[in-house]
Structure 1
Amino acid sequence: MHSSSTSGSRLCLNSLNSLPLKAFVFSTVLIPFHSINASKTTHQYDSVVNSNKLIVVSVADVSTAFKDGQHLHGFGYDLARNYAESINVKLDFKIVPDNATALKMVSKGQANFAMTTSSIQSIEAKHLTSFSASCGDTVSLQKNGLNSNLNWVFKDASDPLSQTASGFICRAKQNGSIGQLASFYNSNVLKQDALNTIQRDLSKRMPIYKASFKKTAQQYNLDWHLLVAIGYQESYLKPDSVSPTGVRGLMMLTNSTAKEMGVSNRTDPAQSIQGGAKYYDQMLARYAHIPMPDRNWYALVAYNMGPGAVSQLQSKIKAQGKNPNKWVNLYAYLDRNKASNGRYRQAVQYVTRIRAYLEHIKTTPQLVNI
């Protein structure tokens, strides 16, 4: 393959993808990476391993990454993070203003690869190489409102870094990770007709409780917009809300949880926000061993189902030989079994909607400036 040929990298990807999974894993994992194209003296892969850092650049986009306070999450970001983890290095993910900047940084060696929706022509014009960030699984991306033209762009197709990355992506397609990540980051969760109602509700109610949300968030070092998103999912920010099962208040606390959190009046908005934030903070602490953003999603599922239920789910995932501390595995289990289990279906809806509400608040000027 030639470094200037995008089609070359795609040919390599297609031929790799045609191999049986076991043979493919053997060829990309068991053969020492330094032996691949050993005639060349320096590889991007070598510098990444030696520095223990993978530098990835991308624009902020619904298909790539969303900045949530100090943390990032998103379909593209999670893929890059999982790839970095697969080669046992740390991810340094940088948000850049546009795709042209991302390509320029790869061309100059300032980034190991870029995640872009740039045209193939503009990639080839920079003498760079690329492959599909979904290994051609355009259906999963399209049906979840994500950009099916998302590519990973490298400087050299013959470098082990781009070769192992293309292998990682196609294994993720084969084992279902691509589809599950796309499902969780579905950009169509909030329908356009519902957005008008959501916008109206938040514009009217956020200012009323802003002081309580901000004060409590600061106390627990949380993002107050995240607390708003939880409150909106729980009660539409209505402090007199009550459910048939007895949960009550703006943050919809059970009677027992309210007592544990020191809440004497669940219908008092300030007390409810305080109790909800304290409980959520306890859930975050419970999953402190899980890195962000996965820890966030685990804590939200635990807030909804209870930590005991999450522990049971983790045991089931572990029994399947999968990592119980990876969000893609927990989400996949919930999503696959939601048709036969109402609690699972509710948990999936709960966490995906809170993510969508948070993103909507953060990207809507009239809401973020309240």
Structure 2
Amino acid sequence: MQRMTYRVKVSTLRAKRRLSYLLRPSKRTLNLKSNLVPSIPYSPSARFSKTKKLVQLSSIALLSLPADSLTTMKAQVPAYNKVMLQKTLIIAAVPGDSTYFATDGFQHGFGYDLVRGYADELGVGIELKAYASDKAALRALQSGAADMALTTASSQLKNQLELSSINVSCGYDTSLTDNGLNPKVSWTFKQADDPLSQKASYFLCDRIKLESTQSLAAFYNQNLLKDAYSQQHFKKTLTEKLPDYQSSFKKQAKDYNHDWELLVAMGYQESHLDADAVSPTGVRGIMMLTNSTAEAMGVADRVDPLQSIGGGARYLEEMKSTFQDVPQTDRIWFALAAYNMGPNAIKRIQKHLDSDGINDKNWANIYNYLSENKASNSRYEQCMQYVSNIRSYIETMKMQTV
């Protein structure tokens, strides 16, 4: 071993001497210039020969370096550094009921909302790249096309690709399975020792964050239309009643800048698309408007389908405008909650969260507050169910699972 080390050192030293000798100024050239003797004519072939020799000698010197020097030269920049420098977290994700949905202008989903929370903590934005399969998303991560992956890939596949992974439930899988979510949903990183991966682990597995994750899982509950009765009732309503009102939903959605299927989901939640519906409290019509709301929205006849849908669409637009400072991805949930419970009730919750140093413009935090305090206020539980149900209906229509 000593002899081999000595030969490497000697070889390195000789290579350096050769390079030094070759690169030092020629005495003959200096003398010619100092004596004002005409310079030697330029020769491309001679210059090429000299360059070739330089490359050969440089290669010899490089190969003579110790192995640890080469490793240092090839060291990769941590993904965390790149993310913080570019202020963007690039996610390779596979669409699904446990990862994310992309529905006409905004992205949401259980896994996606968790990623947004992490990005907010890092102070960076998100760029989501969709892939058709777990393997394709993980390959993108492996190649450097993404900083992390959001998938439900098997441990076998992730191990095969030599990637590091964190289960978003941190071992509390029942919090996902009880809500119909895939317990394998995870965040995957290229290196386990990358700060991006290590910080993600602390973020997900913090005790307070775990409670928030469990509440978020309840919001994204996928069991609502899993039982046969609910599924058949929803499908029957869309088949038999929606055709009579579909043109009205589309017209009012266009007039007030909404997704028409979102309005359908609201109408189903409010009245099961029954134009003559009346509640014990006196609200009426497809969108179940109160007298005061109908008057404010210019609705003269609450049981007239077109007027009722128009009144609901206009009121929802006002709620969206009220929460203009909320990021678009969460604004629709705020607007729906305000539609159900009133904007001032939501603003009071925001004020309470803000006083505790909690982000009051994040829907997961609002939903968690509703969940924690529903025992003392029945309206909170009603609001939670209202928004969750509409989310489920619109996802079901978009995914065409009925």
TM-score, structure 2 normalization: 0.79
Which of 64, 77, 82 is the aligned partner of 1:47? 82
Aligned to 1:358: 394
SS in 1 for 2:375: coil
**More displaced stretch, 323-332 vs 139-148:** 323-332
Aligned mates of 2:378, 2:166 — CA distance in 1: 39
Aligned to 1:182: 217
Structure 1 residue 174, shift from structure 2 partner: 4.6
Which of 136, 150, 160 is the aligned partner of 1:115? 150
Report the residue type matching 2:232 in the other structure.
Answer: N
Structure 1 residue 40, shift from structure 2 partner: 5.4
Which of 176, 187, 207 is the aligned partner of 1:141? 176
Measured at CA, do residues 269 and 277 of structure 1 come closer, stay the same or move farther in structure 2, by a change above 3 Å? same
Measured at CA, do residues 118 and 191 of structure 1 come closer, stay the same or move farther in structure 2, by a change above 3 Å? closer
Which of 317, 320, 328 is the aligned partner of 1:284? 320
Aligned mates of 2:231, 2:208 — CA distance in 1: 32
Structure 1 residue 173, shift from structure 2 partner: 5.8
For structure 2, the residue ranges without an aligned partner over 5 or more in a row are 1-73
Aligned to 2:297: 261
- Aligned ranges 1:1-370 → 2 under 5 Å: 42-171=77-206, 174=209, 176-193=211-228, 194-364=230-400
For structure 1, the residue ranges without an aligned partner over 5 or more in a row are 1-38
Structure 1 residue 127, shift from structure 2 partner: 1.9
Structure 1 residue 105, shift from structure 2 partner: 0.1
Deviation per residue, 1:69-110 (Å, 9 max, x gap): 111111100011111111011011122111011011001000
Structure 1 residue 341, shift from structure 2 partner: 2.1
Identity of aligned residues (%): 46
Aligned mates of 2:325, 2:197 — CA distance in 1: 30
Deviation per residue, 1:174-193 (Å, 9 max, x gap): 55111111111111123422
Aligned mates of 2:223, 2:179 — CA distance in 1: 6
Mapped contact 1:173–1:179 kept (Cα < 8 A):
no
SS in 2 for 1:295: helix
Aligned mates of 1:352, 1:137 — CA distance in 2: 22
Measured at CA, do residues 173 and 317 of structure 1 come closer, stay the same or move farther in structure 2, by a change above 3 Å? closer
SS in 2 for 1:198: helix
Mapped contact 1:58–1:95 kept (Cα < 8 A):
yes
SS in 1 for 2:241: helix
SS in 1 for 2:217: helix
Structure 1 residue 332, shift from structure 2 partner: 1.2
Report the residue type matching 1:102 in the other structure.
Answer: A
SS in 2 for 1:293: helix
Deviation per residue, 1:248-296 (Å, 9 max, x gap): 1111111111111111111100011111000000100111111132211
Say which structure, 1 or 2, has more relative contact order (CA 8 Å, 6+ apart).
1
